[in-house]
Structure 1
Amino acid sequence: MSVIEWLLSSDPAIRWQAMRDLSLAPAAEVAAERAKIATHGWGATLLAAQSEDGTWHGDPRFPEWPTLRTLLLLHDMGLDPASEQARRAVGRVRENVKWLMNITQDELPKDEDISWWHKPFFAGEVEPCINGRVVTVGAYFEVDMHPVVDRLLGEQMADGGWNCDQEIGSTRGSFHTTINVLEGLLEFERATGGSPAVKAARVRGQEYLLSRQLFKRLATGEPIEHDRKGGPVWTQFSYPAGWRYDILRGLDYLRHAGVTPDSRMAEA
């Protein structure tokens, strides 16, 4: 069995993308296969696991986190946002899920920004690495994400990147945060047509990656194996990536964004 045959024998979430990208199947056949995500295989299993309150369980204290991760999986699978199943699932999230929804006011930390306590899920919270991913799923599933996007535009740093540690004094962008925001802005542009301001911010952000050849220090040109917080090396590709950056994720973003290849991508 060839690799393409193996992919085509997989779940509908994989098969429709292999049909589109590798076997060049007719558009009608690709669309029919994609539609099965809502009713067959992994997609149907994830949709069926949603609770009536809109969350996906896995963390009883913070159910908003498995909810975000599940919506990202459904986005990556290609669940049709116009399908009845997607609208029902996203509607439950919009109506019920909030940040820190199972945390009482007495349990909140006294020395942190907790302005996002009990805010609606699609209103985002305070960290751009999280809000970028909220924009990705919100824009894809046809939720108005303009307020969160406006916040992200205001948080872009002087070097073109974004950093979740900005609020505690960081003055430089982060590969991790930047890729999360870039993916969100790109999805927002696809869904809404974007604006000159959004496109300009996204281009500045992708230049942050390109000027560092996707994995090097700007000052020295040395490869960055992984960030100061540890975690997997950037040449170790994994899925789902969560909030973490790796070289393949950077390249995948550039491909989706239609960036013309240049020499700065070559080594990556």
Structure 2
Amino acid sequence: MAIDPKLLDWLLDADPAIRWQVERDLAGAPPEVWEATRGAVAATGFGAELLAHQDPDGQWAGGAYFPAGFFGSAEQEEPGQPWVGTTWALKDLREWGVDAGALTDTAERLTANSRWEYDDLPYWGGEVDVCINSFTLATGAWLDVDVTPLAAWFSTHRLADGGWNCEAEEGDSVRSSFHSTLNAVRGLLAYESYTGDSSVREARQGGEEYLLTRRLLNRATTGERVGPFVDHFVYPNRYRYSALAALDHFRDASLAGGTPPDPRLADAVELVRAARRSDGIWLQGRVLPGRVWFDTDVPEGEPSKWLTLIGSRVLAWWDDADSATAQQTHRRRMDGS
């Protein structure tokens, strides 16, 4: 799928955390170009600013998932939650493409100094929440921490319907959650990509099948839309599910495995396509409330470079695969086979 040159120029005029992905995924730049831009993320813009907020003990804001002193504070009564703790900072840095080498001794410092707010558990062992564990698994693999015990946790904590639910450990649910399952499969794919360990692949693909049987959108019981969050496209989406976030994962999984898009993604693709304006841009959704170190995207209703990057590459992946299939079918017919 060709992208409009004006739209491409607009996307390229962005922070290096966005620009290198535009160069790689949309502009077709050679590796030496986008890799050079990616290498600058830790030194300039979003990446450099977030790294500057790291505490001497390796944490951000003095806490693992929440900032130090959060519980019992006035901030706890505010809408949403703060997004400034260690887990969120590391998730952002990893997803922005920061090289792990820029986080000197961070893994070791967190081993020594960071404990989960839940039961004071050690950081790299994870805790009981599948979403938190998925972020930790991916980040640990990125920073070359041995998180194989945490990887195994996902296989033993899958629910009978194939996915995961953050509320299951407290006995509050026996049904999987779209949010939790997407976070789990994204973490498992990242772990496998960083480490080469395929032992979690079956669990990941089972979670993906949970979403695919629901076409990324619908309840298994009634076939109705699972919730309004499905077409709520926002960056950063933190832990929230949407059809766009799910399709971005399935694109990653397809490229990693060398497999074509699953036809059951078609409805979600059309939902994403329908949200694109005529100029090729997606607008920012309702931003999730909570304290941040700094803004990384625009306010609600404004043109979002992050969402336009993600939406454009999802549609390009889908449409290019569909075009290739059509060409193969045409060639077979012409050959009489």
TM tier relative to shorter chain:
0.7 to 0.9
Matched, 1:34 2:38: yes
| CA shift for structure 1 position 169 | 4.4
**Cα shift readout 1:111-135 (whole Å, capped 9, x = no counterpart):** xxxxx52222111111112111111
- Residue in 1 aligned with 2:57? 53
- Residue in 2 aligned with 1:113? none
Task: Report the residue type matching 1:67 in the other structure.
Answer: T
Q: Give the Cα separation in 1 of the matches to 2:262 and 2:48.
A: 40
Are the counterparts in 1 of residues 154 and 203 from structure 2 also a CA contact under 8 Å? no
**Cα shift readout 1:179-231 (whole Å, capped 9, x = no counterpart):** 11101110111112123x411111111000000010101111111124xxxxx
Matched, 1:206 2:225: no
Change (3 A) 1:169 1:117: closer
Matched, 1:70 2:128: no
- Residue in 1 aligned with 2:314? none
| CA shift for structure 1 position 7 | 1.8
- Residue in 1 aligned with 2:304? none
- Residue in 1 aligned with 2:197? 194
TM-score, length of structure 1 as denominator length: 0.85
- Residue in 1 aligned with 2:266? 266
| CA shift for structure 1 position 164 | 1.6
**Cα shift readout 1:131-156 (whole Å, capped 9, x = no counterpart):** 11111211122211111111111001
| CA shift for structure 1 position 40 | 0.8
Q: Give the Cα separation in 2 of the matches to 1:90 and 1:19.
A: 30
Are the counterparts in 2 of residues 64 and 121 from structure 1 also a CA contact under 8 Å? no
Matched, 1:236 2:232: yes
- Residue in 2 aligned with 1:171? 174
Are the counterparts in 2 of residues 163 and 178 from structure 1 also a CA contact under 8 Å? yes
- Residue in 2 aligned with 1:131? 133
- Percent sequence identity over aligned pairs: 41
- Residue in 1 aligned with 2:20? 16
Q: In the alignment, which of 247, 252, 261 is matched to residue 243 of structure 2? A: 247
Structure 2 alignment gaps of length 5 or more? 71-81, 269-337
TM-score, length of structure 2 as denominator length: 0.68
Provide the secondary structure at the position in 2 that maps to 1:185.
helix
Structure 1 alignment gaps of length 5 or more? 101-115, 227-232
Greater gyration radius: 2
Q: Give the Cα separation in 2 of the matches to 1:65 and 1:13.
A: 18
**Cα shift readout 1:66-88 (whole Å, capped 9, x = no counterpart):** 1111111101100012x2x2234
Q: In the alignment, which of 87, 96, 101 is matched to residue 113 of structure 2? A: 96
Q: CA RMSD in A?
A: 1.9
| CA shift for structure 1 position 64 | 9.9
Are the counterparts in 2 of residues 64 and 98 from structure 1 also a CA contact under 8 Å? no
Are the counterparts in 2 of residues 15 and 33 from structure 1 also a CA contact under 8 Å? yes
Q: Give the Cα separation in 1 of the matches to 2:215 and 2:173.
A: 22
